[in-house]
Copies of this chain bind each other. A is one copy, B any other.
Amino acid sequence: MTTRYKDSATSIDKRVGNLFKAAPAVMTPYSQLMKAASGKGALESKMKELMAFSISIAIRCEDCIIFHLRAALKHGADREEVIEAISVAIEMGGGPSVVYGGRALEALEELS
């Protein structure tokens, strides 16, 4: 088992952390927005992270896939739920979501 996706997650955290220091006036409200959007409400956090994960595949953003997959797993998403979120992305994104979905599945095997 490689650590490719874990390493990516570490790099994302470091880069976003640096951006936070460089642009706190923008990143502080973004951080609040993110917490409000993904915090528990009528929908569970797990579901919202799966939603953000599904969007990440549909828009072809690998860093976003890793970031939100990790968060969904942390909130208890299981393998079947992750695969179904990939499936919705394929419905909405066609072939490009198939190849990014393949990366998402590979990340799932490594991160879970």
The residues of A with any CB-CB pair to B shorter than 8 Å are 12, 15-16, 18-19, 22-23, 25-30, 32-34, 36-38, 41-43, 47-48, 50-52, 54-56, 58-61, 63-64, 67, 78, 80-81, 83-103, 105-106
- Cβ-neighbour of A55 out of B54, B61, B103 (below 8 A): B54
Closest to A95 in B: B92
Closest to A103 in B: B15
- Cβ-neighbour of A91 out of B88, B94, B99 (below 8 A): B94
- Cβ-neighbour of A87 out of B23, B86, B95, B98 (below 8 A): B23
How near does chain B come to A38, taking the closest CB pair, in angstroms? 7
Residue from A58, A63, A84, A101 with most neighbouring chain B CB atoms (10 Å) = A84
